[in-house]
Chain A
């Protein structure tokens, strides 16, 4: 850290230099009355709400989220989740495709198979997704392609 310790007396400026330093800062800013009025109005609202114990967001920065919009968003989310659950019940996951055993078939299963192949060892013959007799990168590709298909269907044959 700083070993040097000047005395306060040494830390002074000649008066004219101090004046020039101030003068160099240019003309002072003129604050319009409207700015003060706006700010004090905001303060009045904010402080009034703090008196009642209900903090109110400052309007310029935080726009209150309308309650009806929040309710609509919740309803949409609820319908979406219900539809997804219904779709899952009607389309049970092929246990062969659910490589990572998370109850879903998606691109993560392809990643999971790729990781297993990368780590070596003897892969489960059930993971021969494309039915060519070997479990290899082509099965990964088949899984990935199938996971991103819009309509469920058979994977393209390889080989």
Chain B
């Protein structure tokens, strides 16, 4: 079995093989993207067990596209809406089971971290608070760009919004980070 990191074939080539029923090509695709899907799902659900469910559902959804699947953008741009929707559905289901409060925010802010003033934990906590106050649409673009490493065009494809809107949201998010007293320090180094 190929190591997905060493396999030089692109996603589009592998998808063409999966269309012909090639299990090995599917396995390479799965191993190449499974960590990203699982961690993205964990960001949306805030729960590793739910994230694993979402991972499985996402790849089953992907599998159902074969044969006859045509990739029109990067695979992660294609998978992103599926992960997002499945994760939010999983969160809603879990929330319904736990409380009567049906409200589920689009994307949960990262969990708080402990630590005193001036410590690494404290600066992370300050960053977390600034992130939590960002409008969800700006936060989503910011994380897709700098945590997931998607290009601006890939983000536009994933969110099905114009490239200009991606740039605008990212600019506003970065301006907030630049101006906010709690994250200014990162720009003064």
Q: Which residues of A contact B (CB under 8 A)?
A: 1-2, 4-6, 8, 10-14, 16-18, 20-26, 28-32, 35-36, 38-40, 42-44, 46-48, 50-51, 58, 60-61
8 Å CB interface, B160-189 against A: 162, 164-165, 167-168, 170-171, 174, 177, 183, 186-187, 189
**Contact across chains for A51 and B21 when beta carbons are under 8 A apart:** yes
Pick the contact of B66: A8, A16, A26, A50 (CB < 8 A). Answer: A50
**Contact across chains for B60 and A1 when beta carbons are under 8 A apart:** no
Q: For the complex formed, measure the closest distance between the CB of A142 and the CB atoms of chain B, giving whole angstroms.
A: 47
B34 contacts chain A at the CB level, 8 A cutoff? yes
> Which of chain A's residues have a CB closer than 8 A to the CB of B165?
1-2
Bound form: Cα–Cα A60–B63 in Å: 13
**Contact across chains for B35 and A2 when beta carbons are under 8 A apart:** no
> Which of chain A's residues have a CB closer than 8 A to the CB of B48?
29-30
Pick the contact of A24: B55, B127, B186, B187 (CB < 8 A). Answer: B127
> Which of chain A's residues have a CB closer than 8 A to the CB of B35?
28-29, 31
**Contact across chains for A32 and B52 when beta carbons are under 8 A apart:** yes
**Contact across chains for B42 and A26 when beta carbons are under 8 A apart:** yes
B111 contacts chain A at the CB level, 8 A cutoff? yes
Which label, helix, strand, loop or mixed, suits the secondary structure of the B interface? Answer: helix
B83 contacts chain A at the CB level, 8 A cutoff? no
**Contact across chains for A20 and B162 when beta carbons are under 8 A apart:** no
Q: For the complex formed, measure the closest distance between the CB of B64 and the CB atoms of chain A, giving whole angstroms.
A: 6
Q: Can you give 25 A-B contacts (C-beta < 8 A)?
A: A2-B162, A4-B167, A6-B167, A10-B171, A14-B187, A16-B186, A16-B189, A21-B142, A21-B147, A22-B146, A25-B39, A25-B143, A28-B38, A28-B39, A29-B38, A35-B56, A39-B59, A40-B23, A40-B30, A42-B60, A42-B63, A47-B21, A47-B63, A51-B20, A58-B64
Q: How many A-B residue pairs lie within 8 Å, measured between CB atoms?
A: 136
> Which of chain B's residues have a CB closer than 8 A to the CB of A31?
34-35, 38, 52, 55
Q: A28-B38, A51-B21 are in contact. List 7 more A-B contacts (CB 8 A).
A: A2-B168, A6-B168, A6-B170, A11-B174, A17-B127, A29-B42, A50-B66
> Which of chain A's residues have a CB closer than 8 A to the CB of B143?
21, 25
> Which of chain A's residues have a CB closer than 8 A to the CB of B56?
35, 38-39
Bound form: Cα–Cα A36–B67 in Å: 21
Bound form: Cα–Cα A61–B56 in Å: 12
Bound form: Cα–Cα A11–B46 in Å: 27
**Contact across chains for B67 and A50 when beta carbons are under 8 A apart:** yes
Pick the contact of A13: B26, B39, B123, B177 (CB < 8 A). Answer: B177
**Contact across chains for B52 and A21 when beta carbons are under 8 A apart:** no
